[in-house]
């Protein structure tokens, strides 16, 4: 079952003397919606995501998932990182089943883990060790581990950034298909504007120092959103312009789209 995410009046300082890393962040993501978050390096995207995941408590403000205040990590709002942290001494089916064990599942967990590996295209590798898989396959295992616990919300922190273009594209499509099928609410941090257009029904552009939401853009492209399809380049240009405006709020300069593009890819 999908669930909404509500961030209210969130401000964060990593220590009392420091300037706030995040300030006055307000955000609502509807149940079943997908949101991509972009912004200049260091603007606080990961910090915000970690707070939604309950890994870091905000200095002030609240995060709620459904009607429940987030105070700790929970399998119902699961986070997946850029690098798959898999146990090399366990087979991949046991790595995935471990997520279910932490979530309190019973003896059927190995069967459920195998079914989820099948769903992400690794049904014939269940007994392999993580180190025998490619980076893309390892990310598929991590994805299966995040999804097998049937989360209402999935939080992705640049999960595909280390992958080649084709593997990344396959995994983007896989994630979109699974979240649509299961009605999961998705929030994904990315550096890649193409990826933001592909993944997000809406795209939040953040500014930095302090980090806050600069703009929220509705993605007008209907899925499947793929580079080269009509409307994709226009949506990306709109996003790039918003990214440039978010930077200008910081520096007072007026960056050209090329300068903004360099910053995005830095």
Binding interface with ligand ATP (CB under 6 A): 14, 21, 39, 41-47
Task: Give the three-class secondary structure for 173.
Answer: helix
**Nearer to ligand ATP (CB atom), residue 32 or residue 44:** 44
Please, what is the minimum distance in Å from the beta carbon of residue 59 to ligand ATP?
12
Cβ distance to ligand ATP smaller for residue 39 or 159: 39
> Which backbone phi and psi does 26 adopt, to 5 degrees?
-125, 130
CA–CA dist 83, 106 (Å, integer): 28
216, 203 Cβ separation under 8 angstroms: yes
Q: What's the closest the beta carbon of residue 82 comes to ligand ATP, in angstroms?
A: 9
As given in the structure block, the two tokens for residue 149 are 């616990």
Of 194, 196, 117, whose CA–CA distance to 156 is shortest?
196
- The first and second tokens of residue 217, run together, are 């853009």
- Separation of alpha carbons 52 and 57, rounded Å: 9
Cβ pair 250, 209 in contact under 8 A: yes
Judged by beta carbon, residue 94 or residue 207, the one nearer ligand ATP is 207
With residue 205 as reference, give the H or E element that holds it: strand 202-207
Are 34 and 153 in contact by the 8 Å Cβ rule? The answer is: no
Q: In terms of CB distance, is 44 or 151 closer to ligand ATP?
A: 44
At its nearest, how many Å lie between ligand ATP and the CB of residue 65?
20
Minimum distance of ligand ATP from residue 108's CB (angstroms): 37
Burial profile 128-159: b = 16 or more Cβ within 10 angstroms, e = fewer:
bbbeebeebbbbbbbbbbbbbbbbbbbbbbbb
CB of 225 to ligand ATP, least distance (A): 22
CA distances from 89 to 40, 99, 105 (A): 38, 16, 21
Taking the least distance from each CB to ligand ATP, the nearer of 3 and 47 is 47
Q: How far is the CB of 264 from ligand ATP (least distance, A)?
A: 10
Q: How far is the CB of 211 from ligand ATP (least distance, A)?
A: 6
As a whole number of angstroms, the longest Cα–Cα distance in the chain is: 60
Instruction: Name which of 126 and 263 has its Cβ closer to ligand ATP.
Output: 263
Nearer to ligand ATP by Cβ, of 17 and 165: the residue is 17
């Amino acid at each position: 079952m999908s669930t909404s995410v509500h961030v209210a009046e969130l401000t964060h300082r990593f220590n009392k003397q420091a300037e706030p890393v995040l300030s006055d962040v307000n955000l609502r993501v509807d149940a079943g919606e997908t949101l991509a978050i972009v912004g200049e390096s260091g603007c606080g995207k990961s910090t915000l995501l970690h707070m939604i995941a309950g890994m870091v408590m905000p200095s002030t403000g609240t995060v709620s998932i459904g009607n429940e205040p987030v105070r700790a990590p929970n399998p119902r709002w699961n986070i997946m990182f850029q690098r798959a942290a898999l146990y090399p001494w366990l087979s991949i089916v046991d790595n995935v089943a471990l997520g279910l064990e932490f979530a309190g599942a019973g003896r059927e967990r190995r069967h459920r883990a195998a079914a989820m590996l099948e769903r992400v295209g690794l049904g014939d590798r269940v007994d392999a060790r993580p180190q025998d898989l490619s980076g893309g396959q390892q990310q598929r295992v991590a994805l299966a581990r995040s999804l097998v616990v049937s989360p209402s919300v999935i939080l992705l922190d640049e999960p595909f950034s280390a992958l080649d273009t084709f593997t990344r594209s396959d995994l983007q499509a896989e994630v979109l298909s699974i979240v649509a099928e299961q009605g999961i609410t998705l929030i994904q941090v990315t550096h890649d504007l193409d990826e933001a257009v592909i993944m997000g029904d809406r795209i939040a552009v953040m500014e930095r120092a302090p980090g806050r939401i600069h703009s929220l853009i509705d993605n007008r492209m209907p899925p499947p959103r793929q580079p080269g399809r009509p409307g994709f380049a226009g949506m990306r240009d709109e996003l790039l312009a918003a990214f440039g405006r978010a930077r200008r709020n910081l520096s007072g300069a007026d960056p050209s789209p090329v300068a903004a593009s360099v910053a995005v890819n830095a």
